[in-house]
Amino acid sequence: MEEKISFSLNGKKTVITTDPNQTLLWVLRNQLGLTGTKFGCGNGFCGACTVLIDKEPTRSCMTAVSDIAGKEVITIEGLARGTRLHPVQQAFVDHDALQCGYCTPGMIMTATGLLLKNPSPTRGEIIDGLEENLCRCGAHTRILDAVETAAKVMKGGK
């Protein structure tokens, strides 16, 4: 029943042997110990489970693990370089853009994916990009501010 799946995980070539009829979300969390990717709804509506697959923000709860063979997966754990936070992460800290912190990894991954495609988004484009990610604490304004700041920092080549 189990299969070998090879892919790139946070920049490292990875081979896992696993039941292929699982979602990427639970393989990341339960088999690979990458619990920064959260379960929020299991139906793709909330975005807490967002990871980058080939640079595209993707709901890991809606992705079969067998579909990632040969692809490049980046999770929240793969953003920082050692102790140096990724500019999007740093901007979330600087803007205090979180409360309970549960939706935060999904927000950061979605925002990172957005900035990869569109390094100079308008406020409206940031809103559109994050619209399908849910936050219940109401940190929205600060999240938008954080993504604007991150965009500026990343363009500055820092």
Partner 1 sequence: MEDKNNKIKLSPVSEEKPGMKRRNFLKVLGGGIFIFFQPWNAFDVLGLTAEQARRSLPTDYNAFLQIAGDGTINCFTGKIEMGQGAITSLPQMMADELNVPLESVKIVLGDTDLCPWDAGTWGSQTIQTFGPAMRSALAEARGVLLDMASQKLGVPASQLEVRDGVVIDTKNPGKKISYAQLAKGQKLEKYLDVKPPVEDHTKFTYVGKPYKHVDAKIKVTGEAKFTGDLKLPGMVFARILRPPSHGATMKSVDISGAEQVQGTQVVRDGDFVAVLHENRDRADEAVAKIKAEFTFNELKVNDKTLFDRMVGADSRINVVRTTGDLEAGARESDRIFESEFHDPYDAHAPIETHSALAQLEGDKMTVWASTQSPFGLQDSLVRELGFPREKVRVITPFVGGGFGGKSAAQQGIEAAKLANMIKKPVMVVWSREEEFFYDTFHPAGVIRIRSGMDKSGLIKLWDYNIYYSGTRGSDTIYDVPNATTTTHQQNMDAIQIHPFGTGAWRAPNNNTNTFARESQIDIMASAAGTDPLEFRLKNLKDEKMIACWKAVADKFGYVPAKTPSGRGIGLACGTDAGSWVAFIAEVKVDTKTGQVKVVRVVCSQDMGLCVNPQGALIQMEGCITMGMGYALTEEIEFEGGDIKTRGFDSFEIPRFSWVPKMDCIILDRQDQAPKGGGEPAIIGIGAVIANAIHDATGARLYRMPFTAARVLEAIKMV
Residue number with CB closer to partner 1 (58 or 133): 133
Mark 109-138 with x for binding to partner 1 (rule: CB under 8 A) and - for no binding.
-----------------xxx-xx-xxxxxx
Q: Which residue has the tokens 């604490």?
A: 137
Residue number with CB closer to partner 1 (83 or 158): 83
Question: Least distance to partner 1 from the beta carbon of 12, Å?
Answer: 16
Residue number with CB closer to partner 1 (7 or 133): 133
Point out which span in 3-11, 52-60, 114-122, 141-149 binds partner 1 (CB under 8 A): 141-149
Q: Are 8 and 14 in contact (CB under 8 A)?
A: yes
| Interior/surface letters 33-48, b for 16+ CB within 10 angstroms, e for the rest | ebebbbbbeeebebbb
Q: What distance in Å separates the CA atoms of residue 49 and residue 55, rounded to the nearest whole number?
A: 15
Q: Which residue has the tokens 């900035």?
A: 115
Q: Are 16 and 60 in contact (CB under 8 A)?
A: no
Is 20 a binding residue for partner 1 by CB under 8 A? The answer is no
Is 35 a binding residue for partner 1 by CB under 8 A? The answer is yes
| 21, amino acid identity | N
Q: Are 102 and 75 in contact (CB under 8 A)?
A: no
Chain residues that interact with partner 1, rule: CB under 8 A: 1, 19, 21-23, 26, 29-30, 33-43, 45-46, 48, 75-77, 79-80, 83, 85, 89-90, 92-93, 96, 98-105, 108, 126-128, 130-131, 133-144
